[in-house]
Amino acid sequence: MSVLTKQAPGAAATLAAPGDAKPRRGPSRRTNQPSGYLFLLPWFVGMLFTIIPFFASLYLAFTDYNLFTEPNFVGLANFQAMFEDPRLLQSLKVTFIYTFVSVPISLAAALLIALVLNRGLQGLSIYRSVYYLPSLLGGSVAIVMLWRYIFGNDGIVNGFLGFFGIQGPAWVTDPEFALSTLIVLNVWTFGSPMVIFLAGLRQVPAMYYEAASIDGASKWRQFRSITLPLISPIIFFNLIMQLIGSFQTFTQGYVMSGGTGGPADSTLFYNLYLYQKGFTEFEMGYASAMAWLLLMIIAIFTAINFIASKFWVFYDN
């Protein structure tokens, strides 16, 4: 969460950068401060509910807390136990496959649709809403339940395949396929990165394209040499946000498998396993340690992305 909140203002600034010449500085900055803080007050109050559990979980990660009795300090025992926990490895595997397959596909889909919509269609706002809608719904329990039926043995997908004489697999109950249905669900929710891409594409000055077409550059060439570099900060922002969100997936796996992570642990997301450890096996100390491991994993991936971004992200200012 902290990574998320820190990242947001910076990204907003880069979004605005191509349009504005320079950020304004003046006397108004100081005089507005008190009301600014007042506006932030609810956030500060809310932050207390985040910060207290945050440090509590850091402490509990080094204890054997079981929800019922007083926690005892056990040092690094929880972290050591993780190395010998096959289900933890399984949950990491599930989460990594899910992330590294669905994030690139959903980003590509989001960019593609954004490019199409950016061509100045009539009724743009309607299309935008239609494509954005799934990302509002995708994490909801009802949609995941619906997904179960769509991919069920008698569902639409297998009905469609049956039309061509193909006997579809048991998408939901077969361990080989269960995760793929959730990946499809995640890709389907490309709406929120799409809206951000769309905003970014609108900021690319039209004069660049005019100049390029006078020089005889093809559409593909224009996309590669103008669009991609100029929206690279937005791709970067979307990538980070999608990665973080994807590592923290919980609802989809929980609802799809009825909380078990099944069939045969094939949808055992990291956070789902964490939840099981904490609330069904009552090993809250271990669960807290897992939460901190996830934070470290996310931090490492974000750091790698930031370092790598120097080589491909172009800031036009």
Partner 1 sequence: MKTTVKFQPRRRAILGAAITAAGLALSGCGASATPAGGGGNVELNFVFWGDANRAKMTEAALRIFEEKNPGITVKTEYQDSGPYADKLATRFAGGNPPDVLNMANRSLLEYAQRGTLADLKSMPELNLDEVPESVLSRGTVDGKLYGLATGVTTIGIVVNKTITDQAGVAIPDDKTWSWEDYAKFATEVTQKTGGKVYGAGYDVATETGPIMLARQRGEDFYTEDNKLGVSEETIRDWFQYSVDLRKAGGYPPAGFFEQIGGSPAQSYLAKGTVASQIIPINNFKGYNDAVEGEVVLLRIPGETSAERRGYSADPSMLWSIAAKSKHPKEAAKLLNFLVNDSDGAAETLTQRGVPINPEVAQSITPKLSTDDKTFVDMMAAIQEDDLPPAYVYPKGASVVADTLKQLATEVEFGRISPADAAKTFLEKSNAAITK
Interface ranges with partner 1 (CB under 8 A): 35, 38-39, 41-42, 45-46, 66-69, 148, 152-153, 169-170, 172-176, 258-260, 262-265, 279-282, 284
CB of 188 to partner 1, least distance (A): 21
Output the CA torsion sign for 182, 187, 188, 191.
positive
CB of 210 to partner 1, least distance (A): 44
Closest CB to partner 1 among 14 and 267?
Answer: 267
Closest CB to partner 1 among 173 and 222?
Answer: 173
Closest CB to partner 1 among 39 and 223?
Answer: 39
280 is written with which tokens? Answer: 């069904």
Three-state DSSP class for residue 314:
coil
Closest CB to partner 1 among 178 and 244?
Answer: 178
Three-state DSSP class for residue 16:
helix
**DSSP per-residue string spanning 60-127:** HTTB---SSS---B-TTHHHHHHHT-HHHHHHHHHHHHHHHHHHHHHHHHHHHHHHHHTTT-TTHHHH
CB of 66 to partner 1, least distance (A): 7
CB of 278 to partner 1, least distance (A): 9
CB of 152 to partner 1, least distance (A): 6
Distance of CA 8 to the CA centre of its chain: 13
Instruction: Work out the widest C-alpha separation in the chain, in whole angstroms.
Output: 75
273 is written with which tokens? Answer: 């396993």
Three-state DSSP class for residue 159:
helix
Distance of CA 168 to the CA centre of its chain: 30
Q: How far apart are CA 19 and CA 202, in angstroms?
A: 10
Closest CB to partner 1 among 69 and 125?
Answer: 69
**DSSP per-residue string spanning 24-59:** --STHHHHTHHHHHHHHHHHHHHHHHHHHHHHHHHH
CB of 69 to partner 1, least distance (A): 6
Q: How far apart are CA 201 and CA 116, in angstroms?
A: 11
CB of 264 to partner 1, least distance (A): 4
Closest CB to partner 1 among 128 and 148?
Answer: 148
Closest CB to partner 1 among 134 and 155?
Answer: 155
107 is written with which tokens? Answer: 């980003």
Which of 287, 300, 275, 299 shows the shortest CA–CA distance to 56? 287
Report the chain's terminal Cα–Cα distance, integer Å. Answer: 29
CB of 87 to partner 1, least distance (A): 9
Q: Which residue, chain included where needed, has tokens 């997904």?
A: 147
Closest CB to partner 1 among 39 and 312?
Answer: 39
CB of 173 to partner 1, least distance (A): 4
Closest CB to partner 1 among 10 and 159?
Answer: 159
